[in-house]
Structure 1
Amino acid sequence: MGIRGVSGALAALVLVGACSSGTNETTSGSAATRAAGTGPVTLQHWCWGAGQKAKVEAFNKAHPDIQVRHTDAGGGTDTATKLVTASRAGNAPDTTCLEYQTLPAMIVAGALADISAHTGDIKDAFSPEVWSLTSFDGAVYGVPQDVGPMVLVYNRKRFEELKIEPPATWADFAEVAADVRKKDPEAYLATFAPAEFGNFAGLAQQAGASWWKVQDTTWSVGIADAPSLEVAGYWQGLIDKDLVKAQPLLTPEWNNQLNKGKILTWPSALWGAGVLYGIAEKQAGDWAIAPLPQWTKGDSRVAFQGGSAIAVTKNSKHAQAAATFAKWMNTDKTAYDIQIAEGEYPASKAGQQATGASEPPKLVAGQKDYWDVATKAAQSTIPHISWGPNVSTAQSAFQDAMAAAVRDKTPLADALKKTQQVVVDDMKATGFKVAGP
C-alpha cells in the first residue's frame, strides 16, 4: 500500500484515547478452532512485555488447532522498525504488538492487514474511543491490548520521610521540587529525560498541544505549537534552577539513584510501576500512584503514554487464525487477568472492570486505592489525539535535538522547533501535503 493509497484514509484517521466500563465478549476455544478453518496452523508473534509469554502459553493450551510462537523483537520502536524491514522482505510475523502512535506509519508502509471481516464480534468489548485507536473508515488494523493513561508514580515512603505531599498542579510540582532539594540536597523530585518523546508528547497534549492534524488531505504539524513551547519552558525553568535532574532514564546511574531513594517520582503512565519494580524490587510496597499534576487547576484531563494493539500483518498466510489469536489475547478473562497481574491496564471494558477486584502491582502493594486512581485517570483521558505518519522520524529528531540542548545548555524550545522542521520536511519529501512553510 503506497502513500497515495492511504493518504485519504489517513486524512480521516484520528487516534483517540479514553476508557469506560462495560461487559466482556470473548472467543471460546471451539469458536477459535472453527475460525482457523484450515485446521492446525502455527503463527509467529512478535511482542515485548512481561505478560506476553504467559498469555501466549494460555492461548496455546486453549487452542490446539492454532499454536503461536512468541518472539520478543524489542520494545515498541525496535519492533516497528524491524517490522517494516521484515514486511518488505516478505517474512514478517503473522501478528505483532504495535504502539498506537506507530500504526499510521505501519499503514503507510503497507505492513498491516485489514481484519475488519474478523472483528465484528468483539467490537463492543471496547469503548468506541478505544476501538477507534486501531480503526478508521471501516478498516480495522489491530485489536487494542492495553492503554497507558498518565499518572504520577511516586515514592510514598520518601514523601512521608520528607513530609511532602503529591502535587496537585504543575505549579505545586515546582514548589515540591524546590522543597525536596532543600530537605535532601542529594535528591531530586523528578528527572527530565531528553530521550522520552512519548512522555513529553503526553505532557504537551495535556497542556492542549496537537502535534498532528489533518483536514481532508492536508496535514498540519504542531510539535512547536504554543502549548508545547510552554511545557518546554516549564521544564527549562526546573533544569536551570537545578530542581530536576536532566539525564536519561533507566541507566545504571539512574537505577542506582532510584534504589537509594534519591529520585522520588516518575511522571509516566500506569505501566511505570511495573518498570520500576523490575529495577527496585526491594522498594516493593514503598511506592504509590497519584493523579498526574494539572496544568490548569481543576482540569483533570491526561493523555495516554504508550499502550499497544495486536495487529495482523499482510505477510500472514493465516489472517483468520491470526485475528482469532489477537481477539483472544485482548478480550479473554485469562488474558486480561495476566495483564492486570503485570500492572497493565487492559484496553477491554471487561478487563478494566476486573481491575477493581485485583491486587495492585507489587511496587505499589500498599496502596489500597491504586485501581481507583488508575480508573479515574483512564476515564479522564483526552479524546481525539492524532498521530502522524512519520512518528519514528519525529521521535528520532526529538531525541537528537533534546539531547543536544541538555548537553549544550541551549533552550529546549529551540529543540522543539528543530524537531518540527525535520518532521515537516520529511512529510513533504515523502509526498504528504503539509500546511504552512
Structure 2
Amino acid sequence: MRTSKFRNIVAAAAATVATALSASACSDAGTSTSSGGKATLQYWAWAPGSAQEVKEFNRTHPDIKVVHTDAGGGEQSSAKLLAAIRAGNAPDLALVENTALPRMIVAGAPLDITDYVSDVRKNYSAGSWAQTTFSGRTYGLPQDVGPMALLYRKDVFDKYGIKAPVAWEDYRNAAARIKARNPKLTMASLSTDGWGWYAAVAAQAGDDWWSVDGDKWTVNIDGANSRKVMDFFQGMFKDGLITADPILTPTYNQQLNNGTMLSWPSAAWAPGVVYGVAPKTAGKWALAPLPRWNVNDPTVSFQGGSSIIVTSKSKHPKQAAEFAKWLNASDQGAKMILNVQNGYPAALAGQKAATAQKPPALMPQQTDYYKVVAEIAKHTRPVTWGPNTDVAATAFTDAMNAAVHNGTSWADVLTVTQKAVVKDLKKQGFKVSKG
C-alpha cells in the first residue's frame, strides 16, 4: 500500500494525499518537542558548517530552536532516515541528495511543502527548482547544486599548446595529442561505479533515463543518445586516453599530486575536493564549461546537489519550512552555504554573491572562476531521477565492471541496467513504459 500511495505522490501529488500526510504528521509522536511556545526541530545534515548555520538561525529566530545532528551523507544518510521514519523517531528536517529524493518520496519520507514554500520559488532558477518538484508539487528546497564543468591542468594544456576543449571531440583530440607527446599522462578516469555521471552526461546529450507523465514512468536508460555516449568514452578507453579506475583512491590521489591525471569532468564543487587531496598543485588548474555534444548547444546537467526536506513525521511543518527557507532561499542563508559550507548555492542570491568571491584555493589565478560557473549555471537542465536509483546503481556498476574486464560493449551495460530498473519498477507496482 505504501508503494502505491506514494507512487501517486510522485506522479500526481494530489492535494488530498498532502492533506492526509499533514494530518498523519500531527498524530505521530515524532521527535519534536515544544516548550513554552517555542518549537524545537531536529535537523539531520552532513554538510560542513551545518552546526554554524543552525547556531545563526537560532540566534535570530527566538521562537524556533533547531537541533543539528550529523547523520552522515549519501546512502548511509538515506538509510538512516528511512529507518527513523519507520520507527517513528524521524527528525523534522533532513538534508537529502537529489538523486535519492524520488526514492524518499516513494517511501513516504518528505512532506509535500508546496504551500509553505511557494513564496520563494522566484529565488531559484527553473532548473534548480525542478530538482525537488514532481508534477507541480514540491517536496524539498534545493540547497546546493553542481553545474557540470571541466576541471583541468591548465599548465599541462598550455605546455602542449592546447586550449580548453569546447566539444567532447575536442576533448578526445586534446587527450590524443598529449598522449602522443607523453604516454605517462592520462586525461581522466571515469570510474565504473559512476552511473550518475553517465546519466547526467546522457541528459546533456538529450536522453532522460527516467521521466514521469501522470502515473506512468518512462525508462530510457538504453536510449540512442546514451549508447552514443558510452561508445564515445569506450573509444577513448580503448585508445588509452582515459582509464576506468576508481577515483579519489590513494593511487588516484597520487596521480593528481604528481601531475599525471590531467582533468576531472565533474562539477563546480570539484576544486575543493582536489585541493583537499593535492593542495600543492594549487595554481596549476582551471575550470571551464563541460565539453558539449553539439558545439552550438551549451547545455549541461547537474552533477550532485542536495535539498532539505521536511519529513512527514514533523509536528511543526510550518516552522520547519521556515528554517529551510531561511537557510536555502534567503540572502543570508545562501551566503552561508557559499562561505561556510563552501558549496555552490542553489538559490540565485547565493550564486550572485559568489561572483564577488575570491576563486577557490586550487586556482587562485582564475579570478573569473565564479563568473564562469554562473554562466554555466544559466544553461543547466534538470535530471529526473527515478524512484529506484539504487537498483540502477547496482546493475550499472556490476555490468560496467564486467564490460571493462571482458572487453565487451559499454553501451550494452545500459541494456542490462534498463532491464533491471524496469523489472524492479513493475515489481513495486509502478506503471512503466520503455523509452
Same fold (TM over 0.5): yes
Deviation, 1:428, is: 0.6
Inter-partner Cα distance in structure 2 for 1:436 and 1:199: 21
Kindly report which structure 2 residues correspond to 1:53-202, keeping only aligned pairs within 5 A, or say none.
Answer: 53-137=51-135, 139-202=137-200
Inter-partner Cα distance in structure 2 for 1:155 and 1:38: 57
2:426 is matched with 428
Inter-partner Cα distance in structure 1 for 2:267 and 2:397: 20
2:6 is matched with 6
Deviation, 1:80, is: 1.8
Residue 185 of structure 1 aligns to a residue whose secondary structure is coil
Distance 1:39 1:276, change over 3 A: farther
- Tell me the number of residue pairs that the alignment of Structure 1 and Structure 2 aligns: 414
Counterpart check, 1:381 vs 2:380:
yes
Deviation, 1:292, is: 0.7
1:20 is matched with none
Counterpart check, 1:276 vs 2:274:
yes
Counterpart check, 1:223 vs 2:221:
yes
Inter-partner Cα distance in structure 2 for 1:94 and 1:233: 45
Instruction: Tell me if structure 2 keeps the 8 A contact 1:210–1:223.
Output: yes
Q: In the alignment, residue 418 of structure 1 is paired with which amino acid? A: V
Instruction: Tell me if structure 1 keeps the 8 A contact 2:149–2:265.
Output: yes
1:358 is matched with 357
Percent identical pairs in the alignment equals 45
1:238 is matched with 236
Instruction: Tell me if structure 2 keeps the 8 A contact 1:194–1:246.
Output: yes
2:291 is matched with 293
Q: In the alignment, residue 378 of structure 1 is paired with which amino acid? A: A
Q: In the alignment, residue 113 of structure 1 is paired with which amino acid? A: L
Residue 268 of structure 1 aligns to a residue whose secondary structure is strand
Inter-partner Cα distance in structure 2 for 1:196 and 1:73: 24
2:37 is matched with 39
Residue by residue over 1:176-196, the C-alpha shift from the partner in whole angstroms, topping out at 9 and shown as x without a partner, is: 111222222222111111111
Inter-partner Cα distance in structure 2 for 1:142 and 1:356: 26
Residue by residue over 1:360-380, the C-alpha shift from the partner in whole angstroms, topping out at 9 and shown as x without a partner, is: 222122111111211111111
2:209 is matched with 211
Q: In the alignment, residue 4 of structure 2 is paired with which amino acid? A: R
Deviation, 1:223, is: 0.7
Instruction: Tell me if structure 1 keeps the 8 A contact 2:102–2:386.
Output: yes
Deviation, 1:414, is: 1.9
Deviation, 1:52, is: 2.5
Residue 315 of structure 2 aligns to a residue whose secondary structure is coil
Instruction: Tell me if structure 2 keeps the 8 A contact 1:340–1:358.
Output: no
Inter-partner Cα distance in structure 1 for 2:246 and 2:57: 37
Instruction: Tell me if structure 2 keeps the 8 A contact 1:119–1:323.
Output: yes
Inter-partner Cα distance in structure 2 for 1:402 and 1:82: 28
Residue 68 of structure 2 aligns to a residue whose secondary structure is strand
Inter-partner Cα distance in structure 2 for 1:289 and 1:89: 45
5+ residue gaps, structure 1: 14-35
The answer to which structure, 1 or 2, has the higher relative contact order (CA under 8 A, 6+ apart) is 1
Deviation, 1:109, is: 0.4
Residue by residue over 1:369-395, the C-alpha shift from the partner in whole angstroms, topping out at 9 and shown as x without a partner, is: 111211111111125x32221112212
Residue 119 of structure 1 aligns to a residue whose secondary structure is helix
Kindly report which structure 2 residues correspond to 1:325-336, keeping only aligned pairs within 5 A, or say none.
Answer: 325-336=323-334
Distance 1:410 1:71, change over 3 A: farther
5+ residue gaps, structure 2: 14-33
Inter-partner Cα distance in structure 2 for 1:134 and 1:178: 40
Instruction: Tell me if structure 1 keeps the 8 A contact 2:178–2:185.
Output: yes
Q: In the alignment, residue 368 of structure 1 is paired with which amino acid? A: T
Q: In the alignment, residue 419 of structure 1 is paired with which amino acid? A: T
Deviation, 1:137, is: 4.9
Instruction: Tell me if structure 2 keeps the 8 A contact 1:151–1:291.
Output: yes
Distance 1:12 1:228, change over 3 A: farther
| TM-score, normalisation: structure 1 | 0.89
Q: In the alignment, residue 207 of structure 2 is paired with which amino acid? A: A
Instruction: Tell me if structure 2 keeps the 8 A contact 1:157–1:286.
Output: yes
Inter-partner Cα distance in structure 2 for 1:270 and 1:77: 22
Residue 296 of structure 1 aligns to a residue whose secondary structure is coil
Residue 317 of structure 1 aligns to a residue whose secondary structure is coil
Instruction: Tell me if structure 1 keeps the 8 A contact 2:94–2:311.
Output: yes
Residue 176 of structure 1 aligns to a residue whose secondary structure is helix
Instruction: Tell me if structure 2 keeps the 8 A contact 1:12–1:214.
Output: no
Deviation, 1:316, is: 2.2
2:369 is matched with 370
| TM-score, normalisation: structure 2 | 0.89
Inter-partner Cα distance in structure 1 for 2:333 and 2:434: 46
Moved more, 249-258 or 73-82: 73-82
Inter-partner Cα distance in structure 1 for 2:127 and 2:184: 43
Inter-partner Cα distance in structure 2 for 1:51 and 1:85: 25
1:32 is matched with none
Moved more, 274-283 or 256-265: 274-283
Instruction: Tell me if structure 2 keeps the 8 A contact 1:273–1:343.
Output: no
Inter-partner Cα distance in structure 2 for 1:62 and 1:234: 53
2:392 is matched with 394
Instruction: Tell me if structure 1 keeps the 8 A contact 2:209–2:384.
Output: yes
Residue 346 of structure 1 aligns to a residue whose secondary structure is coil
